[in-house]
Structure 1
Amino acid sequence: MKTVKWFKNPEMIIALSALFIGLLTAVISIYSAYIDRAYARASVWPNVELYRSFERHSFSYGVVNSGTGPALIKYARVALDGSPIKRWSDIEAFADISQSHIHNRTLPAEQTITPLIYEGEAIAAILEVDNRLAIELCYCSIYGDCWVVDRNNTPKPVNECVIEHQHAFLQ
């Protein structure tokens, strides 16, 4: 009787084929889950931008989320000549302004917050202060991906949004 080598045995060929197909299916499933997760993150990706607007007798700062998902604004940092400030009213030129809260807010996609509005005659003084002002926001997506954006509107990824209390803007 002639013996057949183990790898030429029909049952072994079927078993090895089933093993190969199972491994290939597992690899495809893992890759598909990776792609699905990346798509889910991209479908709710916030993109926060800062802007200013001024006309003859009005000036405002705005924050818009031009991304596809909500932005969880964790902190704001505002500094005048490099020194952190807590409130807009800490700046003398901004004494007569309308303001709204900016940090620890959820900004839905395609929505805008206007944290500061000035209407009056002293636009030149406001613009002079504006040139010395630094604004930074740290925000996260619902998946915990976080970015820091400043007035250059170039988001920089960070691991988490952390700021020392004395540097945080409270308004």
Structure 2
Amino acid sequence: MEKQKWYKNPEMLIALTALFIGLITAFISIYSAYIDRAYAKASVWPKVEVFRSKGKDRFSYGVANRGTGPAIIKYVKVSIGKRYLQRWSDLPEFDSIYQSHISSTTLPAGEMLKPLVYKGEAVENILKIDKRLEIELCYCSIYDDCWVVSRSLQAHPVEQCEVNSKQAFLQ
């Protein structure tokens, strides 16, 4: 009687087939979990925009979340030249303003915040300062994916939001 090769044995073929099906099932499960995670992240993805509005006797800065999830604002930097501001009142031209707190705020999807509103006759003075003013904002999603955005509206991904305390805007 001739001995059969191991791979021709029916029990071994069944075992190898079961192993192959198990490996494919495991791969599909892992890939499905990866896709589900990516979908979950995309479904709560914030997209923050920093903008300004001006009118005849009005001027304002705004921050809007145009994404699908909340934006956790970690820090804001406001600078004019190489000088970092901690409050709007650091500039004498911003003495007659209405303001809202923006640093360390959670901005829900579809919401807008106006951190500075000016109403008065000296809008031209404010516009002169506005040309030199830089605003940088760092925000994260609930999954700790973080981005930095400025008035250019181009968000850049970053590992995490860190700021020097001397550069942080406190208002």
Matched residues in 2 for 1:81 and 1:54: separation?
22
| Alignment of structure 1 residues 62-101 onto 2, 5 Å | 62-101=62-101
TM-score, reference length from structure 1: 0.99
Q: Does 1:18 align with 2:53?
A: no
Who is 1:129 aligned against?
129
Give the deviation of 1:81 after TM superposition: 1.7
Number of the residue aligned with 1:148: 148
Query: What SS class does the counterpart of residue 59 from structure 2 fall into?
Result: strand
Answer whether contact 1:136 1:150 (CA < 8 A) is retained.
yes
Q: Give the Cα–Cα distance (whole angstroms) in 1 for the partners of residues 89 and 128 of structure 2.
A: 16
Q: Which amino acid aligns with 2:124?
A: A
Distance of 2:36 and 2:67 partners within structure 1: 19
Letter in 2 for 1:143: Y
| Shift of residue 3, structure 1, vs aligned partner | 1.6
Give the residue type in structure 1 aligned to 2:97.
I
CA distance in 1, matches of 2:81, 2:19: 67
What's the offset of the Cα at 1:2?
Answer: 2.3
Q: Which residue of 1 aligns with 2:51?
A: 51
TM-score, normalised to structure 2, is 0.99
Question: Residues of 2 paired with 1:82 and 1:119: CA distance?
Answer: 27
Deviation at 1:160, TM superposition (A): 0.6
In the other structure, the counterpart of 1:163 is 163
Q: Which residue of 1 aligns with 2:138?
A: 138
Helix, strand or coil at the partner of 2:26: helix
Looking at structure 1, the residues matched to 95 and 133 of structure 2 have their Cα atoms a distance apart, in angstroms, of: 15
Q: Which residue of 2 aligns with 1:8?
A: 8
Detail structure 1 runs of 4+ shifted over 3 Å in the superposition. none
Gaps of 5+ in 1: none
Letter in 1 for 2:73: I
2:37 matched to which residue of 1? 37
Cα distance in 2 between the residues matched to 1:56 and 1:82: 30
Could you tell me the percent identity over the aligned residues? 60
Whichever residue aligns with residue 126 of structure 1, its letter is I
Aligned equivalents of 1:16 and 1:140: distance in 2?
A: 47
The count of aligned residue pairs is: 171
Contact 1:82 1:134 in 2 (8 A): no
Unaligned runs of at least 5 residues, structure 2: none
Deviation at 1:4, TM superposition (A): 1.1
> How far does residue 152 in structure 1 lie from its aligned partner after superposition?
0.3
Match of 2:116 in 1: 116
Quote the residue 2:103 is aligned against.
103
